[in-house]
Each structure stands twice: as C-alpha cells, then as structure tokens.
Amino acid sequence: MSEAILGISAYYHDSAAALVIDGEIVAAAHEERFTRRKHDASFPANAASYCLAEAGLAFKELTAVAFYDKPFLKFERLLETYHGFAPSGLTSFLSAMPVWIKEKLFMGKMLKDEFAKLGPGKPQVLFPEHHLSHAASAFYPSPFEEAAILTIDGVGEWATTAIGHGKGKDITFLRELDFPHSLGLLYSAFTYYCGFKVNSGEYKLMGLAPYGNPGARRVADFKAKILDQLIDLRPDGSMLLNMDYFGYATGLRMCREDAWERLFGLPKRASETELTQDYMDMALAIQQVTEDVVMRLARTARELTGAKNLTMAGGVSLNCVANGKLIREGVFEGVWIQPAAGDAGGALGAALSAHHIWKGHERTPHKRDAMRGAYLGPEFSAADVKRLAARRHAPYKHFDDFDALAREVSGLLAQGNVVGWFQGRMEYGPRALGNRSILGDPRNPEMQKKLNLKIKYREGFRPFAPSVQEEAIGDYFDIDRPSPYMLLVAPVRPERQNPLPEGYDDMGMWERLYVLRSDLPAITHVDYSARIQSVSRDVNERYWRLIDAFRQTQGCAVVVNTSFNVRGEPIVCTPADAYRCFMRTEMDYLVLGDFLFAKPDQPPLPDDEDWMAQYELD
C-alpha cells in the first residue's frame, strides 16, 4: 500500500497544503489561490481537498498529516519573550493572550476539527519544527546527494536562521540563531519604515534598492548607522539586534519610529506617498547589509559542512538579488533554492521530513530536482473553458494546432499587445512561471509602464522578469547556469546595454526609470539587472514553444513574464479567475489552453464597477 503524507502550513501567513506519496511530490497549492484572499492564513481546507482529489485519495487513506511547526514551542517563545521584556508590551500581551491560547495551546483540537471536514479517518499527526520543515523543503527535492542547508526567515518557534547538513536521507542542524535576532525581521522593519506592508512588501523594498545611489554619502551613512546602532554583525553571519530600536518582540509595530527618526534623520514614509531619494538610498543600504549577512552565513555553512553544494529556504531566500550575488561569488559549486521558500513551502517540507525522517526512507536525487517545475497545482480542461465561455457569452478562437496558436500569440506580442497566458497546472510558490502569467514584448520601451499602470495597477517603479529559453540564457544575461524558478538576479550582457545619458544620477526616479538601458528595456532594471526565469523544453514544453515561436518570428528568445493578477489579488487559479482579471484590466488578449479571447469581442462584465475595493493593497 502506498504511503501518503499530507503537509500543512497554516495560521500565520501563506497557508498551503502539499501531498507526498511514496516520497514523490504529487500536488501542492496555496490556500489564497482558492479563497482569493492574498496571504490567507486560515486552515488550507481548499488546498488540502485539492491535493487529495489530485491523487484520488480519501482523507482516511493518509498515512500521516504533518504540520509545519511546533505550536507549543511557539507558545513558549511568546511567553518567555514577554516575560523577558516586561513590563513593556503588557497591553499587547493581554490582548493577544486569548488568541494565543486558542491558536497555540489548543492547536491539536483545532486541527482535528478541520481534518474532520476533510472526511473520516485518523491519520498520525506530526509536528516537525519550523526550520526543519524549511530545511526539508530545501534539501530533499534538490538534485544533490549531499549539501549544506541554509534557512533564513523572520522566526519559527525560536530559530530565525539555521545552518544544517543534508546527506542521503539525513538532516543535521549545526548552528541556529534565535529570536529576537533575525535578518528576516530586520529586513521587514525596513520594509515597514519605507512605507510597505510587512510580509508582502519585502520584494518591493528589494526592487526599490537599485534606485539608490551607491556612491552617495547618504547610502554609506545609512549603512554605517545600521551596522553601528541597529545590529552587531559577527564574521560568521550571526548577529545581535539592538532591541531598543525594535518593537516586534512585545508590541504591534516592527520598529520604534521615534528612535529610528532620530537615528536616520528621516521619518517613516506613509504608505502610498511619494518615494523620495532618501528612501531609495535607505532601501539600498539595507539590501547591501542583507547581502553581506547572507554571504557570511553561506561561507560559514561551507566551513561547517565541507559540502560543495548549498540548498536554501525561508522567506529571505526569496531575495533573488542576494541569491545572484551568492552565485557570482562562487562560495558553492551548486546552489538550489526551494521555489516556495516562504511559509507555504513549509507544508511540503513537513511532508517530506515525515517521509524521510519519521519513516526513515532513503532518497534518490532527481537530475534537475523533484519539484516538477513547481507546476503542482490544479489544471483545467477544454470543457472547463467552453463552459466558462458559454456562461459569459464570450467569443473565442479555438486552435487545434498549438504551433499555430504560438505563432499567433508571438505576433500579437510583437504588435505591443499584452496577453494573459493560462496553461496546465498552477504554480506552487510566489512566482508565476509560465502557466499563470501575463506576457509582453521585452523590446517594447512602453511595456513596463503599460504593465504596471494599466494591467497590474501597481507602483510604476517595479521591474518585470524575463522568461528566456534555457539554452539561450547566456546570449542575453551574464549568468552561467539555469534559473528555472525566477530566484536569481543577474546583469543583462554588456553588449546589450546602452550607455547612460549625461546627468543620469541627478535625474528623478521616473526620468531614470524610462531611460532605455538595453535592447530589452522592459525587463532591464535601473542597475542593468534582471530577475531571470529560464524555460526548459523538458519541464514546460508549451511555454518553451511559445517563446520559440517568438524567437523564430522576432529573433528574440525572451518574453516579459509577470504574474497573472492585479495588485492585492492572488495569482489566478481557475479559468474564471483568469477571464475576470482579463476583463477588469487593459489586457488585450487571453489564452486559456487552446482558446484565444480578444478583448474587443467580449461583452462587459455585469455589475463589476467596485471590484478593486475587494483587494487590500499589498
């Protein structure tokens, strides 16, 4: 009989479920994609039901359910932290206590109640530690027989950073850094201070950093104050935070704003207000510090393990700028990062740790990795698309020949159109990788502006990623390896770059943004970098063939790829989600499988005037 283990991540942010059968990853999905509530923290009932249905399993047939952390240890940390900082935070302690008791002390009962909704049965319930779940999600699906493991996030139970060693089926932890000292929470504090939302705006801070002036005294001053006053950074990458400046241990805010304003001479930026050069320079300073910490931790991991390869997970591992620097420094020969590196990926790690550690099963690494390209979510049939079209009275053009569809779409892209591209199984993790994507022509100098302001309805400074055929990656970018999960930033090749105009450093943000820095202006960030997704024909043939049609007809093996959603909305899951997003934006065309929908042909959506109000800005 097969051994089936369901992994669960829930009750903090980015709830998810993942199913592993006999060690193989069968299905995984974020709860937010089903409920349409971004970063949904509730029990992943929909995601779990999907995983079981994908495998044709009933809940009673599960061997075990693995929850991604230990609630009692987390409760212990909360109590000890408040005790250690008393009387500070007494008000928030008293208000939070009833919630803690319910969510931590009675977690077992809560889970059993939720499991009962999935069907009868009493599988074994396991609680691996948070950073073990992260470490398992990083090492077990990786292509390495042996590797160092580095997990960095905000906080789990106690640990905020861990260095481990994976070999065969075994994971051994060698070093841990404990709460409240946390690189992830430090970065989140700057996210908050620069006016972005914690646990969702960190990637905006990373995208803002290149607008900072690296030679400016202001950047050096910010960086010096971070290292002199906020953190005590050690050579091995460990750190102590000066908690006089932070409020997250016992309060409801990330930092003590009055202390930060005195230190930096800059007030907290109010959300949605103008971004001045000071905040760009602050973003660059903390990004540089973060990269330095990650490099030190990686070198320590190499020294402790002697391993030539590294695997990574935890929310900080989504900082693809730091990842790109780590690759270029050559500390490790191979680096593999879990595409669902945040807490959602903990569901998968919990299931894999149960299989390999609790059950003791050996592992055989896959040549690429065991993630199936991260295409682990639901897929939909032609009949589903036809039912949607009938319900919406939506005209479409159907293609029996995919190559003909690919040529048609490549021509539409070349004409400056924006195309929603919906194919196959939904991606697991925060990145759209060509199955739930919005596409454009990277050569079009107006494309970044159009995508940000008319399609995504988000801040205009944010960059877009290129999808490039794997075999052509070196023709466009200065990188020596594939980047299948959009987790590495690398420079556009020098011969494709344009020189900057005179007086560039004195220009404002928007003037700099629209300088044509390369022959691929829509995906070239202000520092000549790009967050790359390489597309393999073996992993995603349809997406590869679309890009190949663009190469054959336009001489360019790159397309712009951004996630199929608007600001504040989760990535689309179903054809209905995709069609609704298509109609609500200025997207020009929509492809659902083999069906092409043109915007001018579509009837208006009924009673949809206030749709933006349902999405909280991220």
* Phi, then psi, of 163 in degrees rounded to 5: -115, 125
How would residue 456 be classed by pLDDT, with cut points 50, 70 and 90?
confident
What single-letter DSSP state applies at residue 186? H
Query: How many Å apart are CA 264 and CA 410, to the nearest integer?
Result: 49
Query: How many Å apart are CA 344 and CA 417, to the nearest integer?
Result: 33
Domain definitions of the chain by residue range: 4-129+344-370, 183-334, 382-614
Residue 523 has pLDDT above 90, yes or no: yes
Strands 146-152 and 309-313: parallel
More confident residue, 265 or 505: 265
Residue 217 has pLDDT above 70, yes or no: yes
How much is the average pLDDT of 433-444? 98
How would residue 583 be classed by pLDDT, with cut points 50, 70 and 90?
very high
Peptide bond into 180 cis (omega under 30): yes
Q: Which residues of 200-216 are buried (b: 16+ CB within 10 A; e: fewer)?
A: bbbbbbbbbbbbbeeeb
The token pair that represents 433 in the structure block: 């990788």
Residue 54 has pLDDT above 90, yes or no: yes
Contact predicate 532/479, CB 8 Å: yes
- C-alpha dihedral (203, 208, 214, 217), degrees to nearest 10: -110
Residue 393's pLDDT is what?
A: 96
Looking at the chain, the number of H-run helices and the number of E-run strands are 20, 21
Residue 105's pLDDT is what?
A: 58
In this chain, the answer to whether the domains covering 4-129+344-370 and 183-334 adopt an identical fold is yes
Q: Which run of H or of E encompasses 21?
A: strand 16-21
- Portion of the chain with pLDDT greater than 70, in percent: 92
196 burial level (CB within 10 Å; 0-12, 13-18, 19+)? buried
Sign of CA dihedral 67, 73, 76, 77: negative
DSSP 105-145: ITHHHHHHHHHHHH-S---EEE---HHHHHHHHHHTTSS-S
Q: Which run of H or of E encompasses 103?
A: none
Contact predicate 193/202, CB 8 Å: no
Residue 540's pLDDT is what?
A: 98
Residue 83 has pLDDT above 50, yes or no: no
Residue 453's pLDDT is what?
A: 83
Residue 318 has pLDDT above 90, yes or no: yes
Residue 160 has pLDDT above 60, yes or no: yes
Alpha helices in 194-256 (DSSP H): 202-208, 217-225
Strands 334-337 and 309-313: parallel
* Phi, then psi, of 164 in degrees rounded to 5: -135, 175
Query: How many Å apart are CA 586 and CA 73, to the nearest integer?
Result: 48
* CATH entry, 4-129+344-370, from 3.40.710.10, 3.30.420.40, 1.10.3720.10, 3.40.50.970: 3.30.420.40
Residue 259's pLDDT is what?
A: 96
Of 25, 20, 141, 47, the residue nearest 378 (C-alpha): 47
Query: How many Å apart are CA 583 and CA 599, to the nearest integer?
Result: 7
Query: How many Å apart are CA 44 and CA 29, to the nearest integer?
Result: 9
Q: What average pLDDT does the structure give for the chain?
A: 92
Looking up tokens 């196959």, which residue turns up? 424
Question: 183-334 in CATH: which number?
Answer: 3.30.420.40
Residue 155's pLDDT is what?
A: 81
Report the top-level CATH class of 382-614. alpha beta
Contact predicate 522/447, CB 8 Å: yes
Sign of CA dihedral 129, 486, 326, 322: negative
Alpha helices in 246-378 (DSSP H): 257-264, 277-305, 320-329, 343-353
Query: How many Å apart are CA 431 and CA 318, to the nearest integer?
Result: 10
* Phi, then psi, of 564 in degrees rounded to 5: -80, 85
Strands 558-563 and 589-592: unpaired
Residue 346 has pLDDT above 80, yes or no: yes
